[in-house]
Structure 1
Amino acid sequence: MSTDLEAARAHVAEQVKVDLFTLTQDEDNKRGMQEVSRSFLSDTITVPTPEMYSYASKASVGDDVYHEPCTLALEAHMAKITGKEAALFIPSGTMSNQIALRTHLKQPPYAVLCDHRSHIVRYEAGGLAFHSGAHAQMVIPSNGHHITLEDVEGEIVLGQDIHSCPTEVISLENTLNGTIFPQDEIVRISEYAHRIGVKMHLDGARIWHVAAETGKPLTELLAPFDSVSLCFSKGLGAPIGSCLVGPKEYIKKARWFRKMFGGGMRQTGFMAASAAYALTHNFPRLPAVHELTRKLEAGLVEIGVEITSSAETCMVFFDPSPIGVTYLEIIERANQLPEPLKLGGSRLVVHIQTSPQAVEDFLTVVRTLAEEKKTAGFAPLEKKSTPNGRPYGNIYVRGVKREAH
């Protein structure tokens, strides 16, 4: 080998080399953990703990496109606890939902009926149209909380009228914006759908919260559905991953679509192990999360803030206008704290790493602003609501999105 070639290779190796860590990486990570504990933005921001990393580091090292022992074991466990025949580990909840629907939809024209606030149509970048070429039949729930069988019957498209797009799948979401979909209504919709030959899919990204709050096993909660997507990084604190469950032949086809979508992964053992750790150690913590969320709601009510969607699980939505305060004022004041709070408007999300002190500090911020407004002469406003007590649609306040409840 020539000296010139050796030198050239060494030069390329020097260019490729990288060190991602800062000189203060350990301290940076501690600060990051502290910031997570004081953020109400989402439960997706939770981070793996040293204990989770330690467990994951022992995982198998197979290739998931071929054979990955830990991932296969996780998929078998997920199929068992959900009462389905098979399961498929997928990188994200969005991909899991989109693969689920694409696998159900075989020959257009076809449509998916869902709540107008559903993640599949609001927050998946138009994937339903792009990946499946499907029409979305979005339903506004007449009760303001969840769609009912009567809502479905009023919007579903059946028959052979060539002017219409027939409904092939009904996709529900549980929880939706933190609210629990009543199981008896799900059963009613499912029985109707299956009677007329329509498939049922569930975006169950946060179904863990429903199981933790109601005590119902996943087998019961998911029995009405032909396919279900469950997330490990929302609520449970794993760094990545969702799981799609359903019939064996359905999952076999879904695995093909996962490859087509670019979701075939390699050494996923550590991801599966992180999910397993989250199921074992973090799922039991969800009732405490719900209790802290209710404490947050009670504090806001005591101050005089209007609750626009109650704390059924890990979220509470609020409107501070009755005390003369805006979202931006709250956000700005929270940012000025010695240890800032991260907020995003009307939605407050509590998670397994939210500190009780963060809740107290947030309530203090709102309480202080309310007192300042009162001192300045503001008279509390009379609360306003729609006939069913809930707002309709999505509202934007100076660029801050208030999600529908």
Structure 2
Amino acid sequence: MVTRMIDLRSDTVTKPNQAMRAAMANAEVDDDVLGYDPTAFRLETEMARIMGKEAGLFVPSGTMGNLISVLVHCNVRGSEVILGDNSHIHIYENGGISTIGGVHPRTVKNNKDGTMDIDLIEAAIRDPRFEICYPTTRLICLENTHANSGGRCLPVDYIDKVGELAKKHGLKLHIDGARIFHASEALGVPVDRLVRVADSVSVCLSKGLGAPVGTVIVGSKVFIAKARILRKTLGGGMRQVGVLCAAALVAVQENVKKLEDDHKKAKTLAEGLNKIKGLKVDVASVETNIIYCDISESANITAPKLCKNLEEHGILLMSDSSSRIRFVLHYQISESDVHYALSCIQRAVTGVPSENGAK
């Protein structure tokens, strides 16, 4: 019988803590669709302030936040957005920008660090002289941190250059900032500085910050007014939404400061995995809370089989392929959990117990 559960599948698996539950139970609420929920207003105002933008809007998910943002900027069907070929919007959001918004994705190769070469972005911008043939480029999207690159951080000078490029060509810039607070902490750069040149940002509160539900998109007052209408169209208008926003406020107030510890635990886990024969982690690329671990053929075990084996010991993981596993740290994973997981993984891969054991 499993008595200890260590969930490393994602940072979306955190459970609301007692402070969040108390805030939800005591939240002051009203009908947000009719125009005003006081707790939602507090969250939206606070997130806009933190991000250095004029206004914010609470939405149920990061996927909806990105979709709304793209559709506001690309408000004519047949518009085109430039984004990374390995980005969350392109890979994991059901092609919503195309199927719902009629927006054409123009992909540029993501580098290992999550960036796209500036010259390739510029080359992807359509020449307006041939608009009779091409979609009209209206938007560039970045993702920070870049999840599929292992939680790598886009540095501020790079973001500024993309912003300058967008402005030069009369385009908008949207940042998928699902883990933007992770990037801010890891880079030592204030979060508002990271998004200064962005016209809109989606900030997920249910990933690293540990809220049970929600994302806030921020931008200008005009942008948010249009986004509010689209939220209703997409079914994201909710009534006494302050019950959810109350937990999100606790997450913002209490959990941002815990991200540094998440990054340290990720480094400890990455270094430990890299010492296990048959496993390989590029430790230098572990900048935040995400780790990708490759399994060599010599280990004689596949990623799905290893995940299944570890599940019997209460350790939950996700295989990214037959030979790769993703680990994601969050504030409800302790240092002891990390060492216990390493001990179980070493035994599962090599048959030899770890010297560290469980702490």
TM-score by length of 2: 0.89
Secondary structure at the counterpart of residue 81 of structure 2: strand
Deviation at 1:237, TM superposition (A): 0.8
Secondary structure at the counterpart of residue 291 of structure 2: strand
Relative to 1, partners in 2 of residues 1:142 and 1:359: Cα closer, same or farther, differing over 3 Å? closer
Q: Is 1:342 matched with 2:316?
A: yes
Deviation at 1:209, TM superposition (A): 0.6
Structure 1 counterpart of 2:125, from 153, 156, 179: 156
C-alpha distance in 1 between matches for 2:247 and 2:255: 11
C-alpha distance in 2 between matches for 1:366 and 1:323: 15
Counterparts of 1:146-295 in structure 2, within 5 Å, are: 146-161=115-130, 162-177=132-147, 178-295=151-268
Structure 1 counterpart of 2:60, from 72, 91, 108: 91
Q: Is 1:351 matched with 2:330?
A: yes
Structure 1 counterpart of 2:296, from 321, 336, 339: 321
Deviation at 1:323, TM superposition (A): 4.5
Q: Is the Cα–Cα contact under 8 Å of residues 333 and 365 in structure 1 kept in the other structure?
A: no
Give, as a single letter, the amino acid of the residue that structure 2 aligns with 1:353: Q
Aligned to 1:22: none
Aligned to 2:28: 60
Deviation at 1:343, TM superposition (A): 1.0
Give, as a single letter, the amino acid of the residue that structure 2 aligns with 1:364: S
Aligned to 1:392: none
Deviates more, 1:191-200 or 1:148-157: 148-157
C-alpha distance in 1 between matches for 2:180 and 2:137: 25
Aligned to 2:109: 140
Aligned to 1:400: none
Give, as a single letter, the amino acid of the residue that structure 2 aligns with 1:234: K
Give, as a single letter, the amino acid of the residue that structure 2 aligns with 1:328: P
Relative to 1, partners in 2 of residues 1:145 and 1:105: Cα closer, same or farther, differing over 3 Å? closer
Q: Is the Cα–Cα contact under 8 Å of residues 330 and 365 in structure 1 kept in the other structure?
A: no
Relative to 1, partners in 2 of residues 1:283 and 1:144: Cα closer, same or farther, differing over 3 Å? closer
Aligned to 1:297: 270
C-alpha distance in 2 between matches for 1:212 and 1:57: 31
Deviation at 1:145, TM superposition (A): 3.7
Aligned to 2:322: none
Q: Is the Cα–Cα contact under 8 Å of residues 79 and 245 in structure 1 kept in the other structure?
A: yes
Give, as a single letter, the amino acid of the residue that structure 1 aligns with 2:304: L
C-alpha distance in 1 between matches for 2:75 and 2:166: 17
Secondary structure at the counterpart of residue 132 of structure 1: coil
Deviation at 1:144, TM superposition (A): 5.7
Q: Is the Cα–Cα contact under 8 Å of residues 315 and 347 in structure 1 kept in the other structure?
A: yes
Deviation at 1:308, TM superposition (A): 5.0
Deviates more, 1:52-61 or 1:97-106: 52-61
Counterparts of 1:35-54 in structure 2, within 5 Å, are: 35=5, 38-54=6-22
C-alpha distance in 2 between matches for 1:235 and 1:142: 24
Deviation at 1:278, TM superposition (A): 0.4
Deviation at 1:371, TM superposition (A): 3.2
Relative to 1, partners in 2 of residues 1:336 and 1:229: Cα closer, same or farther, differing over 3 Å? same
Q: Is the Cα–Cα contact under 8 Å of residues 153 and 187 in structure 2 kept in the other structure?
A: no
Unaligned segments of structure 1, at least 5 residues:
1-30, 374-405
Q: What is the CA deviation profile of residues 228-252 of structure 1, one whole-angstrom value per residue up to 9, with x for unaligned ones?
A: 0001101111111111111111111
Give, as a single letter, the amino acid of the residue that structure 2 aligns with 1:329: K
Q: Give the RMSD, CA atoms, in angstroms.
A: 1.8
Give, as a single letter, the amino acid of the residue that structure 1 aligns with 2:188: G
C-alpha distance in 2 between matches for 1:144 and 1:258: 32
C-alpha distance in 1 between matches for 2:308 and 2:54: 50
Secondary structure at the counterpart of residue 58 of structure 2: strand
C-alpha distance in 2 between matches for 1:71 and 1:46: 21
Secondary structure at the counterpart of residue 160 of structure 1: helix
Give, as a single letter, the amino acid of the residue that structure 2 aligns with 1:112: V
Deviation at 1:142, TM superposition (A): 4.8
Deviates more, 1:178-187 or 1:352-361: 352-361
Q: Is the Cα–Cα contact under 8 Å of residues 139 and 173 in structure 2 kept in the other structure?
A: yes
Aligned to 2:90: 121
Bigger CA radius of gyration: 1
Q: Is the Cα–Cα contact under 8 Å of residues 323 and 370 in structure 1 kept in the other structure?
A: no
Q: How many residue pairs align between the two structures?
A: 337
Q: Is 1:105 matched with 2:81?
A: no
Deviates more, 1:214-223 or 1:305-314: 305-314
Aligned-pair identity in percent equals 36
Unaligned segments of structure 2, at least 5 residues:
320-324, 353-359
Structure 1 counterpart of 2:306, from 330, 333, 343: 330
Secondary structure at the counterpart of residue 224 of structure 1: coil
Relative to 1, partners in 2 of residues 1:92 and 1:367: Cα closer, same or farther, differing over 3 Å? same
Q: Is the Cα–Cα contact under 8 Å of residues 310 and 348 in structure 2 kept in the other structure?
A: no
